[in-house]
Amino acid sequence: MSQVSRKVRVAVVFGGRSSEHAISCVTAGAVMAAIDRDRYEVIPVGIARDGRWVLAPEDQTLAIEDGRLPEVSGEGAPLALPFDPDGRGLLVVEPGRVPATLGEVDVVLPLLHGPYGEDGTIQGMLDLAGVRYVGAGVLASAVGMDKGFMKLVWQAQGLPVGPYVLIGDREWRRERKRKLDEVRELGLADGRAVFVKPARAGSSMGISRVTSEDGLEAAIEAAREHDPKVIVEAAIEGREIECGVLQGLDDGPPEASLPAEVLMGGGRDFYDFETKYLDGATTMAIPPDLPPEAVEEVRRIAAQAFDALDCEGLARVDFFLTPGGDWILNEINTMPGFTPASAFPQMWAATGLDYPSLVDRLIQTALKRSTGLR
């Protein structure tokens, strides 16, 4: 008698220890609602802010409601992922009880944003455990998370990036004057604005727009609350354009979506956290008002940027388009948001891949790739 085939088990991991915990929860809520339950068995795995892994209730509300952000409470059954390439399962490890297995996990959807998730940490753990997962591997995740190394790799590949200054923790403590002088040379001394950012954060956390030297040190300290490593970028005049990229099918080249243009309202100076997620002042033009050749150019560069970092699965690549028609790479997100306000699923929907089909493609792509070194 043939064995009845079971559904593919997908562990959706969300929450985490970074400042983007809540946005990760919102992403997970949207993705889990889109997964085809006739084909997949979903295991919701929450990581509380203190790092505890729990089996999260499926009926937990994972959405922004009346301005309140969701989070993993940490009250679910405690979980562990064994580092056993032959097991590839999750264990319930409640105190005083014999560990119970939830069965083999076929693939993990690590919907974690920021440090301790999007930066190669969970990817390394899953590689050790021999578990397939959606998205970039250890190196691409780490480089994609660190805006400094990201730009260095792109520069080495001949891709266009804007002027910037990196400020490491030791440099800030020991060579503060020298680093401040370097930032002034970005244009701040001449009255041009700069953006001060945590080097390894997303969702516009900790970012400040600085227009005078008086506010520079305070902006750097604000960014250091999220990350001791800071990047300061010269403000670039231009339109903000984004493009989604997916790993190609059957070892084909990466595929780029129609781009989107970020259109801000509400008098905001830049695309900050509130603008993205809370005040509803941002809209997306998909596709932007661009000539066809410009659309094809940004798609081409987005695919190049994806390949340059050796990305897998998916990424969103962000650009500036200058008044002179030059494309400047801003950054890449190797696990872009899937919230209702997120550009990545909207761009792919406009390209012809709806939300459930997009999620399915990511899972199927991950299932087909090998474990270990690739």
Mean pLDDT of 63-81: 78
pLDDT, tens digit, for every residue of 118-148? 999 999 999 988 899 999 999 999 999 999 9
Which whole number is the average pLDDT over 8-12? 95
Contact 136, 121 (CB under 8 A): no
Give pLDDT, residue 85. 61
The number of residues in the chain equals 374
pLDDT tier at 115 (50, 70, 90 boundaries)? Answer: confident
| Average pLDDT for the chain | 89
Q: Which two tokens stand for residue 317?
A: 């690549």
φ/ψ of 70, rounded to 5, equals -75, 160
Over residues 321-360, the pLDDT tens digits come to 999 999 999 999 999 988 767 899 999 999 999 999 999 9
Backbone angles phi, psi at 285, to 5 degrees: -100, 110
Give the mean pLDDT of 143-172: 97
More confident call, 19 vs 362 = 362
Of 41-50, 177-186, 204-213, 270-279, which gets the smallest average pLDDT? Answer: 270-279
pLDDT for res 2: 43
Phi, psi of 291 (to 5 degrees): -60, 150
Omega within 30 of 0 (cis) for the link into 253? no
Categorize the per-residue pLDDT at 83 as very low, low, confident or very high, splitting at 50, 70 and 90: low
Question: Which tens digit of pLDDT belongs to each residue from 266-312?
Answer: 555 555 545 554 455 578 999 999 999 999 999 999 999 999 999 99
Average pLDDT over residues 71-92: 73
DSSP state of 170: H
Give me the pLDDT at residue 1, please: 40
**Among 70, 63, 64, 10, which residue's Cα sits nearest to residue 36?**
10
Confidence bin at 70 (pLDDT 50/70/90): confident
The tens digit of pLDDT for each residue in 222-240 reads 999 999 999 999 999 999 9
